Amino acid sequence: MFMRIAFYAPMKPPDHPVPSGDRRMGQLLTRALARGGHQVDLASGFRSYEGTGDPARQAALRRSGIAEARRLIAYYKAQAPAARPDLWFTYHVYYKAPDWIGPEVARALKIPYAIAEASHAGKRDVPAWRLGHRGAMLAIGAADLIFSMTAVDRAGIAPLLGARQQHCDLPPFLDVEGFAPPSAQAVDKARPTRLLTVAMMREGAKLESYRRLAAALARLADLDWHLTIVGDGPAREEVAAAFAEFPAGRVRFTGALPLEQVARCYREADLYLWPAAEEAYGMALLEAQASGLPVIAARVRGVPDVVQDGQCGFLTPDGDIAAFADTARFLICDSAARAQMGLAARAYVRDNHGLDRAAMLLNRGFAQVTRPMVRVP
């Protein structure tokens, strides 16, 4: 079932220069679609994202989005029917990044419209966000097919869906082969336990997570550990300040690293820590587990969809610094438990969150909405 797929990510296109989990998943989706046998073309680099709650800015973005939709419709209609897309695929639709383009193009070309990772929460229907919120609702309502990546998102959009719409699960995924497990060797009990965190440094939830991590580790000053932090961003000074009280050499900041070097950091670590404040699901949690690391994170939003609590690591109550610290103490002190959980984590990610499985789930969803279509001449 070969298709030409027009791919669009209104929050951040997969070729955006600034790294993030959202960009990473966009890149992985294009790879999974190609793995499934399809030709994937980036339809537009237009960003509808507005993160401050500015209605005037949102209105301007809507106008620009509609203009871009009209441009694309004219462009596609000028092509031979066989060269036009067979399906429109939008990644990540929510109140801060509605899709003003996909529904219009799909309707004009009479092709299916699919969304992966659509989110909805009624509490966002307030003046500051109303236009984006309702724009996202319109896109969700127009979709023929929606892939939900977490149970939270699935439940959130369910009330918006009609009988004609197909709703499928697509758990977050990655290329497992890009992350090798640590070499099998005896643990050197004379060295510190190597802790790792990989995350962007920006205001809001990320900075709050870093502060929670520092507060938790402050309770473990009596243990022998070393923390490596991989990441960078506009809040780097605030993050550094959160860890300023630790003795010199106990916390190492690497800055942003290429993915190959990040994978090496995973291989060299013993335990992955991330308090996960407001985390959608956390790509780094999957990467760590794929590398054979047990993880400790908060039980929040989509994190339970990517971490099996008690088998591949532990999930603690959101914001409970004492519980996070106590759980970290247990795994820092028990290398056998770390090793057992690390093996389970890699097997779990390989079997449930790999690229091949994602390609299969995508194609299974497409089979429910693709059919002989009358193309617009």
Domain chopping of the chain, boundaries: 4-173+354-366, 176-352
Q: What are residue 229's phi and psi, to 5 degrees?
A: -115, 120
Do residues 147 and 172 lie in contact, with contact meaning Cβ atoms separated by under 8 Å? Answer: no
Closest by CA position to 171, among listed 35, 332, 25:
25
pLDDT of residue 375: 39
**How would you label 338-350 residue by residue, b for 16+ Cβ within 10 Å and e otherwise?**
bbebbebbbebbb
pLDDT at residue 19, rounded to an integer: 82
Torsion of CA 299, 352, 141, 372, to 10 degrees: 180
**pLDDT of 235-294, one tens digit each?**
999 999 999 999 999 999 999 999 999 999 999 999 999 999 999 889 999 999 999 999
Fold type of domain 176-352: Rossmann fold (3.40.50)
Task: Say which CATH topology domain 4-173+354-366 has.
Answer: Rossmann fold (3.40.50)
Q: Is 296 helix (H, G, I), strand (E, B) or coil?
A: strand
Of 124, 157, 152, whose CA–CA distance to 139 is shortest?
157
Tens of pLDDT, residues 43-89: 999 999 999 999 999 999 999 999 999 999 999 999 999 999 999 99
> Tens digits of per-residue pLDDT, 140-183?
999 999 999 999 999 999 999 999 999 999 999 999 988 987 76
Q: Which amino acid is residue 260, in one-letter code? A: E
Mean pLDDT of the chain: 94
Q: Return the half-sphere exposure (C-beta side, CA atoms, 13 A cut-off) of residue 276.
A: 29
- Look at residue 181 and give its three-state secondary structure: coil
The pLDDT of 182-194, averaged and rounded, is 71
- Paired tokens of 316: 């603690």
Q: Which long-range contacts (CB under 8 A, 24 or more apart) does 344-348 make?
A: 344/308, 344/311, 344/312, 345/288, 345/289, 345/290, 345/292, 345/293, 345/294, 345/295, 345/308, 345/311, 345/312, 345/313, 346/176, 346/181, 346/289, 346/290, 346/291, 346/292, 348/289, 348/308, 348/311, 348/312
pTM score of the predicted model: 0.88
Q: Note the pLDDT tens digit of each residue in 352-364.
A: 999 999 999 999 9
